[in-house]
Amino acid sequence: GGGGGGGSLVNRWFSPADVDECADGLTCPDSECVNTLGSYRCLPCPAGYRVRDRKCADVNECLNTTICGTTGLCNNTEGSYRCDCNRGYRLRADGRQCTDINECLEGDFCAPYGECLNSEGSYHCLCAEGFTTSGDLSTCLDVDECRGRAACQNGLCLNTVGTYECTCEAGFRANEERTTCTDVDECEEYRTACGSQRCENSPGSYRCIPDCGPGYRLSHAQRCVDVDECANATVCGSFAYCQNMAGSYRCHCDQGYRQVYDGAGCVDVDECELMEGVCGSAVCDNVPGSFFCLCRDDDQEYNPRTAECTQRHSPAQGRPPGGSPGQRKECYYDLNDVELCENVLAPNVTREECCCTVGKGWGSDCRIQQCPEAGSDGYQSLCPHGLGYISGPQTSFGRDYRDADECELFGFEVCKNGVCVNTSPGYACYCPTGYYFDAVRLECTDHDECEAPDTCFDGVCTNTIGSYFCSCHPPLILDITLGRCVANTSSLFGVHLAMCWQEVGQNLLCNRPFLGRQTTYTECCCQYGEAWGMDCALCPIRNTDDYNDLCNYLLPAVREDDGYPYGLEYESYGLPYAPDSGPSVDGPNYAER
């Protein structure tokens, strides 16, 4: 054989056996050896291959861990390798290294509600206000502000793209961005909302509070109630009692006293000087608040009926018939009542205490002994000292009787619903305004003012407990006296503006004022309400002839020169809601002090 790539001269007539030069390991040390007939060839290994065991074998480039850098994964291939890039990277042009992809330059990522910011191997979104990034930070999602937060307090929250809107409750108003509800100060924006009353703003509403006049105060229930000046026991001074009145009070002097001219108090009346000869032949002795008639002879007693001193009766003569002295039973009044057994003044009084005062019968368990008639012998025997006096131990003045204190004996029963004041003799029952004292029933009874023929002239009188009120048949209204109904045909109702009431409640009380503006009587009755004006003039009932006659005169158009709409339609710019249940002004309230 020969070396290199050369050959040798061969005897054409002799062919020796071929030598495999590649079997020698030193042949082609850096190449692949290929034996040929009579020779061999050294073939260099292509790129990506290396001689191993005299053959070209693939080189595993991936054994070099940095060959694809830190952002790619090496995959070996025959004679080469491939870099598979991580997400967010791509191969360079040489195909051997991975480089970051700038996603923000290659698409509308994060649009339209955010800005794309590139990062190594990725990107993230910087979202606009009202948006938030998704879990993988790859897009902007709308924030539902109405969920899980106190948005639109005092209103209804409506989510929109990138923001939200508030629909506010009555009494609240949305800001320019419609993202919050703020309270409307009705008292500031609608100065006439409460008319002559004081307006007090509250969250979402307002209240009309009356300025209570002298003698009244505002209660916890926001009502003007009467001040009971008589609660001050010293308001009338000594020897006087106080009578509370609606918005005021009155001082009455005790029996036997009179008021001084300057009104500063009560002084004793000297009956002996004022009523000359009041005791007849007896001696008049003035005492504080009263006087005594004293007989000069101790064996005599004064008879107030004859104004004379007469001889005293023996004990046998003075014993009243019908019961032993000191025996106590029930005292009855109004024996003509079908329920007379219930008419008990007191359960434990003597017959003298009963019949010599206000009683009409005396007994037990409705077994009643009628009291003797005044002026009869029986009455004179039972009540020798006259009505309002009962027997008692002899005093230092020589009299053996005393004034009966009916208020103490019978308590509430003798002056029901009133104030009982003892007098000598008898008692006085003071009733509240609008009541009168029924001497048979012994109680303060409501005075029915409607029984008087001149009450509510041309109108309807409705009696109430302690008072009354007048109402008029439409189209009449009350005049300024509140006691006479007058026609509404005068020019006053064509041009005068007043409050329109949208509702007339029980007892003909006007409620829910129309707060848009003041109206004429015709406008109010034909368009908005049921009564008009501070006198609560009732509107005609709808679908009646009175209503049709009134409302057919409405003009169809708006006359701007009148300064207010005159037609059937106009734009309401007032408050769409009424105030809170507000305070009202009542007369004297005897239940609340």
DSSP letters along 3-15, please?
Answer: STT------TT--
DSSP class of 528? I
Distances (CA, A) of 45 to 2, 6, 20, 79, 583: 23, 22, 20, 10, 110
Q: Write out the H or E segment, with its range, that includes residue 318.
A: helix 315-318
- Asked whether the domain spanning 146-183 has the same topology as the one spanning 104-143, the reply is yes
Dihedral angle computed from the Cα positions of residues 358, 364, 368 and 370, in that order, rounded to the nearest 10 degrees? -40
- Is 390:425 a contact under the CB 8 Å cutoff? no
pLDDT-flagged residues of the chain (< 50) = 1-13, 314-321, 490-494, 553-574, 581-593
The residues near 109 (Cβ < 8 Å, ≥ 6 apart) are 103, 116, 123, 125, 138, 139
* Preceding omega of 112 cis (within 30 degrees of 0): yes
pTM of the model as a whole: 0.33
> Which residues does residue 484 pair with via DSSP β-bridges, in sequence order?
457
CATH superfamily of 448-491: Laminin (2.10.25.10)
Q: Domain 146-183: which CATH class?
A: mainly beta
pLDDT in tens, 288-324: 877 778 887 877 777 766 677 887 654 444 444 455 5
Query: Cα separation of 345 and 182, whole Å?
Result: 65
* Buried-exposed string 130-162: b where 16+ CB fall within 10 A, e elsewhere: bbebeeebebbebbebbeeeebbebbebebeee
pLDDT of residue 74: 92
CATH number, domain 104-143, options 2.10.25.10, 3.40.50.150, 3.50.50.60, 1.10.940.10: 2.10.25.10
Distances (CA, A) of 271 to 111, 182, 252, 293, 296: 109, 75, 18, 11, 19
The CATH fold assigned to 230-268 is Laminin (2.10.25)
Scan for tokens 């009168």, then name that residue.
436
Scan for tokens 């009926």, then name that residue.
305
The residues near 337 (Cβ < 8 Å, ≥ 6 apart) are 343
What is the CATH number assigned to the segment(s) 62-101? Answer: 2.10.25.10
Query: CA 19: distance to chain centroid?
Result: 121
pLDDT of residue 362: 92
> Which residues does residue 562 pair with via DSSP β-bridges, in sequence order?
none
* Buried-exposed string 43-57: b where 16+ CB fall within 10 A, e elsewhere: eebeebbebeebebe
Query: Cα separation of 426 and 415, whole Å?
Result: 12
Distances (CA, A) of 509 to 465, 528, 554: 16, 17, 27
Q: Which of 63, 113, 104, 68 is nearest to 86 (CA)?
A: 68
Dihedral angle computed from the Cα positions of residues 57, 61, 63 and 68, in that order, rounded to the nearest 10 degrees? -170
pLDDT in tens, 279-292: 877 888 888 877 77
* Preceding omega of 320 cis (within 30 degrees of 0): no
CATH architecture of 188-227: Ribbon (2.10)
What is the CATH number assigned to the segment(s) 269-311? Answer: 2.10.25.10
Domain extents for the chain?
A: 62-101, 104-143, 146-183, 188-227, 230-268, 269-311, 448-491
Query: Cα separation of 40 and 438, whole Å?
Result: 156
* Preceding omega of 556 cis (within 30 degrees of 0): no
Q: What is the DSSP string of 114-174?
A: EEEEEETTEEEEEEPTTEEE-TTSSSEEE--TTSSS-TTTTEEEEEETTEEEEEEPTTEEE
Dihedral angle computed from the Cα positions of residues 151, 157, 163 and 165, in that order, rounded to the nearest 10 degrees? -110
pLDDT of residue 8: 45
Q: Which amino acid is at 261?
A: Y
> Which residues does residue 462 pair with via DSSP β-bridges, in sequence order?
469
pLDDT in tens, 384-429: 888 998 887 766 566 678 888 899 899 888 898 888 888 888 888 8
Count of residues in the chain = 593
Scan for tokens 């006479």, then name that residue.
484
The Cβ of residue 405 has, within 10 Å, a number of other Cβ atoms equal to: 16
Q: Write out the H or E segment, with its range, that includes residue 546.
A: helix 545-551
